[in-house]
Structure 1
Amino acid sequence: MNEIMMRQDAAPVIQSDAERFELIQRKAKMWASSKIVPAEYRNSVADCTIALDMADRIGVSPMFVMQNLYVVKGRPTWSGQACIAIIRNCGRFDHVRVVYVRDKDGTPTGCRIVARQVADGSEVSGTLVTLEMAAAEGWGPKWRTIPEQMLAYRAASFFARVYCPDMLMGMWSEGEPEDVERNRAAAPNPFAEPQAIEAPQQSASIELSELQKEQVTFDAID
């Protein structure tokens, strides 16, 4: 299975070799004509070419990229399970574990990825992602419906960004584009022009009326 998911003999970047780029394009035409590939890639030679390029760069099968890469909010986004699969199969880690933190009732409240680095045998741990963090950041509705799954997905994304960011190629993972867009829409604009504060008209009229009464009183005394 590892040979299918992650190839250790990844080819060089295709843009560095014109002949190889032409070969990839010919392959992309074959992939685009297939009925097995996801609908987004059918009859799209350009998208298939990009998918094959990405597969070459990170050493995975083209089908893995096509099945796990989506465009959300205008940005290419990895599926949640893709991050976990990349960590497990990139060859840099072994003994990869999804570790949950649970409350006294056994309900998961947090999650982190723990693994051992093949290079030196040291154990590394990813950021602990918690439901409290999700609530504070205002993350989406899936955190209420499938919290255990979302904890694992986000924990894998955080781990990969620290220990193998090149494998994600700078892309977000499932749920992140929506969360960022939601927070951006809710945040105040720090560069917005301050609005002028107008004095309340009613208060001004009341104060003027009081001054007029005082003036009348003084006139009567004189």
Structure 2
Amino acid sequence: MSQEMTLAQVRQKTDVEVGFFSSASFELMQRVAKVFASSNIVPTQYRSEYTKGTGRSAQIIQNPNALANCIIAIGIAQRMRADILMVMQNLYIVEGRPSWSSVWIISAINLCGRFSPLKFEMRHLGEKEISYEETYWEDDKKQRRVKKTIIDDYECVAWATEKQTGDRLESIKVSVGMAVKEGWYQKTGSKWQTMPELMLRYRCASFFGKVYAPELLMGLSSAEEVADTIEITPDGEILGVTTEALRRQPIDVTPATTETEPQQITQSADVEITPTATGEGEDDTPAPVEAAPPGQQAAPDGTPAKGPPTTDEESLFGE
């Protein structure tokens, strides 16, 4: 009897699953993560070291975040009951934001068993002139202007039948005109200009998954969608253009200032200055200019402008 209990205890100790909340489970997860981090068939962000460049300029780069990235990917795969390597191959990191490939989203919807295979309906809307707002930087300040472009417009809808009810479920309609107005189309290197029909299908699939099967995506967007909403400032800083991101971390567009010595005002040769009459005993020194409070601009005479201060967020959204 004691021998059977011993075998049962040994079997119980060896049956450990990867996880975060026990020392044995987390140790096993780290061992599994090290195996993937040492492989060269996983994406670069999961490798402990990778080669950058070719030929004589090639150099080996150490990645200190590889083990942590692998552990997170293993946790996601465990929660989704999916293959770890498949998750790593389809989970992209776009400027620190994890996102799924659109192909993964379509396959996840098709394989979940709740819907019929995802299908797409395309409609040609013809040639259109679309007006859109363009953001540009001038004097280190974010500005906007209205521009127009002519496009060959298409509209796409993703749909599937829910097996339990037989209802036809549709995504929102996505068109090339929408891509122009949202700023996706005119981004540098955008695939919306070269393969719009494919991008329409990818975006509709992402919207369909967010509405009808958000648990499959775990709240993550598609990689193409994240790339379309990334904005770069003149200094090379990456900005998210969502309102929520701006409210969490307001954008500082005020140019950096350095302390300089006060400049002396000299009288120009071609400017005549008429002295003003002052009372006897009064100081001829001009009154100091009152500085405007933060968020207000000073009036031409130096007095602070009236009205509530304007924040960066209000200036960006006109609120």
Alignment check: 8 A CA contact 1:108 1:148 kept = no
Structure 2 alignment gaps of length 5 or more: 1-16, 49-65, 128-151, 232-238, 253-294, 302-319
- Out of 137, 160, 163, the residue aligned to residue 182 of structure 2 is 137
| Structure 1 residues 147 and 22, CA gap change in structure 2 (3 angstroms) | same
TM-score computed with the length of structure 1 as normaliser: 0.71
- Alignment-mate amino acid for residue 40 of structure 2: K
> More strand by proportion, 1 or 2?
2
Deviations 1:166-188 (A, max 9, x none): 2212222123233323395699x
- Alignment-mate amino acid for residue 166 of structure 1: E
For 2:206 and 2:32, the matched residues in 1 are separated by 30
Aligned to 1:115: 160
Aligned to 1:101: 123
Aligned to 2:80: 58
Structure scoring higher RCO (CA < 8 A, sep ≥ 6) equals: 1
For 2:27 and 2:174, the matched residues in 1 are separated by 43
Name the SS for the 2:208 alignment partner: helix
| Structure 1 residues 194 and 137, CA gap change in structure 2 (3 angstroms) | farther
Alpha-carbon distance, 1:35 to partner: 2.4
Matched, 1:25 2:30: yes
Please, which moves more after superposition, 52-61 or 150-159? Answer: 52-61
Please, which moves more after superposition, 90-99 or 143-152? Answer: 90-99
Name the SS for the 1:94 alignment partner: coil
Structure 1 alignment gaps of length 5 or more: 1-11, 200-222
Alpha-carbon distance, 1:87 to partner: 1.2
Alpha-carbon distance, 1:21 to partner: 3.6
Alignment check: 8 A CA contact 1:41 1:48 kept = yes
- Alignment-mate amino acid for residue 225 of structure 2: E
Structure 1 segments of 4 or more deviating over 6 A? 189-192
Alpha-carbon distance, 1:101 to partner: 2.0
Deviations 1:70-111 (A, max 9, x none): 111221121221211221122221232122222469x77122
- Alignment-mate amino acid for residue 32 of structure 2: K
CA RMSD of the aligned region, Å? Answer: 3.0
- Alignment-mate amino acid for residue 133 of structure 1: M
For 2:43 and 2:240, the matched residues in 1 are separated by 31
For 1:49 and 1:186, the matched residues in 2 are separated by 29
- Alignment-mate amino acid for residue 82 of structure 1: W
For 2:166 and 2:29, the matched residues in 1 are separated by 37
Percent of pairs identical after alignment? 39
Alpha-carbon distance, 1:42 to partner: 1.8
